[in-house]
Amino acid sequence: MTAELITITIDGTALKVVPGTTVLDAARKVNIDIPTLCHHADLCSAALGKKVPAPSNCRMCLVEVEGQRALQASCATEINGPMNIKTSSPAIRHARQDILALMMSEHYGDCAACRRNGNCELQQLCAEYGVDTALFGRPEAPLYAMPDEDNIIQRDMNKCVICRRCLRTCELYQGVVALSPEGRGEHTDIATFMDREMMEAWCINCGQCINRCPTGALTERDDTAAVWAAIEDPDKLVVIQTAPAPRAAIGECFGCEPGTPLTFEMNTALKKIGFDKVFDTNFSADLTIFEEGAELLGRLYKAVVLKDNSAALPQFTSCSPGWIKFIEHFYPEYLPNLSSAKSPQQMMGAVVKTYFAEKNGWDPSKIVSVSLMPCTAKKFEAARPEMDASGHRDIDYVLTTRELARMIKQAGIDLPKLEKSDFDNPFGTPTGSGVIFGATGGVMEAALRTVLEVVTGEKIETLFDKADILPVRGFEGVRMAQVTIGKVGPVPAIFSHLVPDFEWLKGVTVKVGLAHGTANAIRVMQDIKEGGPLSQCHFIEFMACPGGCLGGGGQPIPTNLEIRTARAKAIYGEDAAYKVRKSHENEDVLRIYREFFKEGPCSHKSHELLHTHYKERV
């Protein structure tokens, strides 16, 4: 039954709405902009597909409703009968000005130096409403202690407007609940358990809170100064790898529409900035597919043929460091299910300081390995003590998309206008299978393209048109797909040390699962615990961030579904355009197995350099 529409009037315009629509949503439908600091496109009932209470914390969205004595918060006012609404009046403007001035009276910080200067919702509203600090003043000293500089997630309460977007994101998308309101009324703050530093909290460093913070209260640790210093140091050889997701998003920092890929312009910029080599993380993404795929084959063989129950299935992907810390905190009993393969970032780091250094006669101790990631959790991953099997840190510094955008601007470079240039050898072949790692479902799609071709000996295109494995794509929070293996081929030499033949896979239906946003990961883990359909999967891809890496916590601000969809389109567009679209056809990867990891994937040497281990966190 469809409810009857209600006719309302907003600023003189009549429109029909579904009962229960908020005044805010109704106004936005007719392009009337009501300012909000706590409401966010990702945090409303429509985006979450379930009824969530309106935050109504910031009070910026006040409107006049005819017949109501006081101004009403439009985000929390539902339309259940005819209404006459005004969104602009002297009373509304004065109220908003006072609210902003009061926020500023508790807002300590140097606007000019703030990371969000020019991209701050509070600053923009203050400008629009002509708010000055004459009435209520500004704090002359910090009201809160500054966060420790080592925190990856920097949380400065001095700039917080208590909108609660951070903790709602943390709960609704991530299911982590690292943050909570502390205290009550005017004494309310946002705090971790026991008001500790973020690095001591049960936080997975995903940075989703940063992407939705309206002000500069949440930022990531700034590593640009250290990277500049390395570049300026004549004694250092500075290499950078770039992950797929930042390329599809960095243009947003330079005024481009979301979904403008600037992969090759960025290569030029990085060289101009002074990086000695620019490598493509697609290389190590493809390397990951070999290692993780070989591991999966080994586990399946153990389970199916050897009937050995010690093979933990389903195998979980291990590329997303937010997901890794999540499972270490919340589901440590499932750590054996995680692939032991390092993430592409760490694999690249490991081979740059070994294989590449040897090949080119570079002293690994003089190499500074930098990575450009869409991710704040990658900073944590790079700093894990165990990530130094070569005797050197795999990765020295991680830059987020936002940090690199700042560096490019500091260098006076107008990124979108640059000419294009290629990546450097020997890790320079852009591949479709690598680039789709940036979207939810991408790791799975790349894995399936390779595993199915390797096992069946037939082109994947016979199963999926243009090698596009559409069942694993999309933004549905939890997805499942399956493929039955009809025929099998001979075992290629590179995998021959793992299994004698593929006969045992004949007729097997390979089941895979996907989840993005750790709140969805919780759904999967609960289903597995209860022996549901996902427990029957062989391989499950987990991405900590909504949308996968393209929605990562280090990506340009703002974020919403529309922006993430545009970035995904750019990523799949790149995939379709590349000559090499399958990991096992990446000549750079095949070469490293010929020249360096001669015993093949999941062998002794690859285990030493390309695999890792995990630990329970309490």
Do strands 367-373 and 315-316 pair parallel, antiparallel, or not at all (unpaired)? Answer: unpaired
The burial class, CB within 10 Å (0-12 / 13-18 / 19+), for 465 is: exposed
Is-catalytic flag, 203? no
Considering only residues 199 to 218 of the shown chain, the ones binding another protein according to CB under 8 A are 201-202
Pick the stretch among 108-116, 178-186, 360-368, 548-556 that binds another protein (CB under 8 A): 178-186
Interaction between residue 186 and another protein (CB under 8 A)? no
Does 144 sit near another protein (CB under 8 A)?
Answer: no
Q: How far is the CB of 106 from another protein (least distance, A)?
A: 19
Identify whether 378 is a catalytic site residue: yes
Q: Which stretch binds another protein (CB under 8 A): 86-94, 119-127, 177-185, 246-254?
A: 177-185
383 is a contact residue toward another protein (CB under 8 A): no
233's tokens: 């140091």
**Contact with another protein (CB under 8 A) among 19, 181, 255, 507:** 181
Q: Which of 192, 345, 401, 586 binds another protein (CB under 8 A)?
A: 192
Q: In the complex, what is the shortest distance from the CB of residue 102 to another protein, in angstroms, rounded to a whole number?
A: 22
Q: Nearest CA to 314 among 487, 602, 531?
A: 531
Q: Which of 220, 252, 292, 445 is catalytic?
A: 292
Which of residues 47, 76, 177, 226 is near another protein by CB under 8 A? Answer: 177
Tokens describing residue 342: 């390092």
Measured from the CB atom, is 83 or 179 closer to another protein?
179
Q: Kindly state whether residue 454 participates in binding another protein, applying the rule CB under 8 A.
A: no
- Is residue 540 part of the contact set for another protein (CB under 8 A)? no
User: Is the distance from CB of 189 to CB of 222 less than 8 angstroms?
Assistant: no
Closest distance of CB 168 from another protein, Å: 13
- Closest C-alpha among 23, 108, 121 to residue 73: 23
Q: Is 381 a catalytic residue?
A: yes
Radius of gyration of the chain from Cα atoms?
26
Distance separating alpha carbons of residues 525 and 531, to the nearest angstrom: 10
Burial class from Cβ neighbours inside 10 Å (0-12, 13-18, 19+) for residue 138 reads middle
State the alpha helices, DSSP H only, in 177-304. 208-212, 224-232, 244-247, 263-273, 281-304
Query: Rounded to an integer, what distance in angstroms lies between the CA atom of residue 583 and that of residue 564?
Result: 25
Using CB under 8 A as the binding rule, whether residue 463 contacts another protein is answered as no
Q: How far is the CB of 203 from another protein (least distance, A)?
A: 9
- Contact, 15 vs 32, CB < 8 A? no
d(Cα 328, Cα 12) in Å, to the nearest integer?
A: 55
Per CB under 8 A, 191 contacts another protein:
yes
- Per CB under 8 A, the list member of 180, 340, 536, 560 interacting with another protein is 180
* Helical H segments across 279-376, by residue range: 281-304, 321-330, 344-351, 357-360
Of 136 and 202, which has the nearer Cβ to another protein? 202
Dihedral sign computed on CA atoms, order 16, 18, 24, 26: negative
Question: Is position 386 annotated as part of the catalytic site?
Answer: yes
Closest approach of Cβ 617 to another protein, in Å?
Answer: 13
Strands 509-516 and 539-543: parallel
Closest approach, Cβ 183 to another protein, in A, equals 5
Query: Is 602 tagged catalytic?
Result: no
Active site residue 339: yes
Q: Shortest CA distance to 579 belongs to which of 433, 471, 400, 444?
A: 433
Give me 144's structure tokens.
């809160």
Compute CA distances 616 → 122, 244, 324, 326, whole Å: 40, 30, 10, 10
Closer to another protein by CB, 198 or 270: give it.
Answer: 198
What is the smallest separation between the CB atom of 556 and another protein, expressed in angstroms? 28
Cα 314 to the chain's mean position, in Å? 23
Exactly one of 51, 184, 579, 604 binds another protein (CB under 8 A); which one?
Answer: 184
Q: Is 74 a catalytic residue?
A: no
- Which one of 74, 339, 433, 606 is the catalytic residue? 339
- Please say if 587 is a catalytic residue: no
* Least separation in angstroms between CB 425 and another protein: 48
The residues annotated with a catalytic role in the active site are: 292, 295, 319, 339, 378, 381, 386, 549
Could you list the residues that contact another protein (CB under 8 A)?
176-184, 191-195, 201-202, 618
